[in-house]
Structure 1
Amino acid sequence: MTNVELTAVSRWYGNVVAVNDVTMSLGTGVTGLLGPNGAGKTTLLHMMAGFLAPSRGTVTVDGTPTWRNPAVYRQLGLVSEREAVHTFLTAYEFVLASAKLHKLPDPAAAARRAIELVEMTAAQDRQIGTYSKGMRQRTRVAAALVHDPAVLLLDEPFNGMDPRQRLHMMDLLHRLGGEGRTILFSSHILEEVEQVSGTVQVIVAGRLAASGDFRTIRRLMTNRPHVFAVQSTDDRRLAVALIGEPSVTGVEIDRTGLTVRAGDYGSFTRALPKIALASGIRVRRLLPSDESLESVFSYLVEA
């Protein structure tokens, strides 16, 4: 069992704080690192992989610091978000080069095994420049797996993959995690994390906003306050009628129409049609006005 530990980790660039006082522990299995773009996910992964030094705090793999420690790569594999592949190489040549860099006893056999794992055997002798983005991504995963690492870090691994490729990659991560590896993958898409990982670390604006079982995180997101923009045939009468609904925490009318704040998404959306019908009011439009990913995650910071 290999553990990755972050203790009070911060990273800043001049006056810009990219990661702010994050403490996190990763054990075996698959963990999702969830957050909007620009939240600090890539910076965290790069510190775990030893590419960046923490400005403050410590990052260790099995108690050993990752920064300035090349030996950590014997048990760690990284798939960065930014592509770094030589397009004139074939997939086999690219993965073989990785195997040789790790000084494996039989690099050719290791390369073939890794390529087979990601289902790229049929295309392994084609140049990478002829591949789709999803195929290039799988090739890079093979190169990260070639030395059979105990820790695998993946930055947005599903980018560019078609539905079949996504399903295969999700299944592969499940299997690798089930074999006792420590796997962390980042994503800004909630459904990706839900399908792959039971454990979630949510990061917003460089801070760890929530951590734990996916069902708990999903419940926090679902039960947060919601804001709706409503247009009807009589906004004022509808506002008066809605005040008595238990799920409604506030109403407001201005020139743009009616704004309703609800404590429970499901209860409000079920109650609204009944209240409107009983009042003889026709609802023309109901639009959640705070459903951006950033607003959902920002709520978790404040929760």
Structure 2
Amino acid sequence: MATLEIAACSRWYGNVVAVNDVTMTIGPGITGLLGPNGAGKSTLIHMLGGFLPPSTGTVTLDGAAIWKNQGAYRTIGLVPEREATYDFLTGRQLAVASAELHGLPDAGAAAARAIATVEMGDAQDRKIGEYSKGMKQRIKMASALVHDPAVLLLDEPFNGMDPRQRLHLIALLRSMGAEGRTVLFSSHILEEVEQLAHQIEVIVAGRHAASGDYREIRRLMTDRPHQYTITSSDNRVLASALVADGSTAGVSLDGATLRVQATEFLAFAELLPRVARDAGVRLYEVSPADESLESVFSYLVTA
């Protein structure tokens, strides 16, 4: 069993801060790294994999620094997000090359086992340039598994996979987590993470925004204030009725639009039709104003 620790870790490129003072512990089992695109997930995974040094802070594996630690590479398998591979190689050649780089005594046998694990045997002798995006993801996975790593880091591993490939990868990662391996995978889709991870770490704009199991993260997202824009037959009467009810955090008129901040999603969904009916107001349009992933995650940073 292996444990990854990130302590007060930052990484910047010139004036751009990609990871900002992040501290977290990733232990055996499956952990999901959740956040919108551009949040810093890839940078964090590359530091955990030993491909980038932190600008400040420490990144360790079982207490030993990962950067420039050759022994750590024997324990870690990395599946990067980037699709770029050696397209002139066959899938088998790529896996064998990875096994040889790890210095395995029987690189061919190790590659064959990894390819069978990801169910790429039928396509192993085709050139990678002929693969679909999902197939490229799987052969990258095989290359990361040749040395049977105790730690597996995957950056957006489900991108480009068809439903059957996704189900197979989910089953594979679950089995690895059950074996006691430390599996960390990133995603910007909460439902994707919910299917797999027992622990979720949320990162937004390079900052560690939240931590917990998926039920806790889902509760935080659901319970945040929700903003709506409303048009109705009489916005002023409706605004007065909502203020009088006292169940909203804020109401404002913006031209022909009524803006409402609700403290609880489900309560407001029941409240609005009732208040409009009692006030004799007809609702024309009710639209969420802050339902993007970026706005949801950003709320967690400031909560």
Contact 2:31–2:199 (CA under 8 A) maintained in structure 1: yes
Contact 2:83–2:133 (CA under 8 A) maintained in structure 1: no
Shift of 1:99: 1.1
SS at match of 2:195: helix
Shift of 1:224: 0.2
Provide the residue aligned with 1:243 in structure 2: 243
SS at match of 1:294: helix
RMSD: 1.2
Q: Does 1:17 align with 2:17?
A: yes
Provide the residue aligned with 1:260 in structure 2: 260
SS at match of 1:196: coil
**Deviation by residue 1:219-255 (Cα, 9 ceiling, x = unmatched):** 0110000100011111111111222345311111121
Q: Matches of 1:111 and 1:247 in 2, distance apart?
A: 61
Q: Does 1:93 align with 2:93?
A: yes
Shift of 1:277: 2.2
Q: Does 1:114 align with 2:114?
A: yes
Q: Matches of 1:117 and 1:85 in 2, distance apart?
A: 20
Provide the residue aligned with 1:47 in structure 2: 47
Provide the residue aligned with 2:284 in structure 1: 284
Q: Matches of 1:228 and 1:72 in 2, distance apart?
A: 49
Provide the residue aligned with 1:30 in structure 2: 30
Amino-acid identity (%):
63
Shift of 1:53: 1.0
AA at the equivalent of 2:169: M
Shift of 1:83: 2.4
**Deviation by residue 1:200-227 (Cα, 9 ceiling, x = unmatched):** 1111111101112111111011000010
TM-score between both structures, scaled by the size of structure 2: 0.97
Q: Matches of 1:11 and 1:293 in 2, distance apart?
A: 23
Contact 2:19–2:206 (CA under 8 A) maintained in structure 1: yes
Provide the residue aligned with 1:159 in structure 2: 159
Q: Does 1:173 align with 2:173?
A: yes
Q: Which segments of structure 1 move beyond 3 Å, counting only runs of 4 or more?
A: 244-247
Provide the residue aligned with 1:211 in structure 2: 211
Provide the residue aligned with 1:63 in structure 2: 63
**Deviation by residue 1:69-91 (Cα, 9 ceiling, x = unmatched):** 12211010101111231112211
**Deviation by residue 1:5-55 (Cα, 9 ceiling, x = unmatched):** 111111112222211111111110010111111111111111111111111
SS at match of 1:99: helix
Provide the residue aligned with 1:222 in structure 2: 222
Q: Does 1:124 align with 2:124?
A: yes
Provide the residue aligned with 1:234 in structure 2: 234
Q: Matches of 1:287 and 1:117 in 2, distance apart?
A: 46
**Number of equivalences:** 303
Q: Matches of 2:218 and 2:208 in 1, distance apart?
A: 16
